[in-house]
Homo-oligomer: A and B are copies of this chain.
Amino acid sequence: MEEASLSSSSSPRSPDGGPGGDRGQAFPKLQNDTFLRAAWGEATDYTPVWCMRQAGRYLKEFLDTRAGQDFFSTCRSPEACCELTLQPLRRFPLDAAIIFSDILVVPQALGLQVTMVPGKGPTFSAPLREEQDLDRLQTPVDVDQELGYVFQAITLTRQRLEGRVPLIGFSGAPWTLMSYMVEGGGSPTMAQAKRWLYQWPKASHRLLGLLTDVLVPYLVGQVAAGAQALQVFESHAGHLGPELFSEFALPYIRDVAKRVKAGLREAGLAPVPLIIFAKDGHYALEELAQSGYEVVGIDWKVDPALARERVGKSVTLQGNLDPCALYASEDRIGQLVERMLDAFGPQPHIANLGHGIYPDMDPAHVGAFVEAVHRHSRQLRRK
């Protein structure tokens, strides 16, 4: 395992002319572009790997840094977000960092109060119950003012990463954010949010459009601040199915990609690869591959070889080890990684889990996962 030199005392070096755009900011030169090359569909010496929720409660140092602090206060502290983002990089030779933040900072920017309740998860004090509740939302959102703390965290982290690996920014997709805003938190069925789609399709489209209008400048702003790739999480795709997804999720997913790309051009920023991860959206793989994203994330319920058949060769796939596989022995993790890499085959692939790391997982097993991806993918390329 590589020991990182990711101290907090580093200072900016020469600007990075790589694929990640930056606006007049001097960032250290990127040393490992394997993740970005794979995201752009280029050949790499090995399969790059990162983990969803790699900065998380399974790390003792994460708990130490978070100790006693409210979750969303942490999100609003660029120093804390930077530190949490760098922690897993100090332990594991990951090929990308992802900024520590939360998808629910966007509903907050729209004026909704959200707290993280231990043992329960995110909780809205006043969810959207009726159509007229849309009038409570504070629009338009000045993203620099409302979400500037995320941009600051990204810029700081990009500096302190010292160019070691690229930094990923992210947001939730419109449907996923809408579902939280209506449900007021997690739900096994998302039935209240789906009730909106069936009962109030116009108000639903209004809300989804309004979210898209915030997400576009928010994602462009992340790139301006230093993000070198962007992932959009459609975490609640699994509640929809083909018909609702086509009407209420896919058009906004497409719109985000199209408008973010245009926004980057207008801002004079270099393009960055876009990743769409629609968890449990197995039924829409073909459409997702044509939705304007360079990378399509898949969960562990989809066979990688079948996924590749369905998406064609135009996109990079990302995923998809069952996160619970990290409960297996390190040897067994190695075998499961080999099977996964073999199934993905020679087309561009970014290794990841099919969902985030859980708090009770052993960091050594995360290390075993990362190491096995690097080792076996190098072996495959030698064949």
Contact = CB atoms under 8 A, between A and B. Distances in A.
Contact of A282 (B189, B301, B322, B332): B301
B282 A358 contact: no
Given A191-B358, A280-B280, A283-B282, A238 B327 contact: no
Q: For the complex formed by this chain, how many copies does it contain in all?
A: 2
A243 B339 CA distance: 11
A364 interface: no
Interface stretch (A34-42, A124-132, A193-201): A193-201
Nearest to A121: B188
A328 B247 CA distance: 15
Contact of A327 (B188, B198, B283): B198
Contacts of A283: 282, 301-303
B194 A324 contact: yes
A186 interface: yes
A353 to B, nearest CB: 12
A191 B324 CA distance: 6
B242 A301 contact: yes
Contacts of A186: 188
A262 interface: no
A198 B325 contact: yes
Contacts of A72: none
A15 interface: no
Interface in A299-316: 299-303
Contacts of A243: 322, 339
A194 B280 contact: no
Interface of A: 186, 188-189, 191, 194-195, 197-199, 238, 240-244, 280, 282-283, 299-303, 322-325, 327-329, 332, 339, 354-355, 358, 360
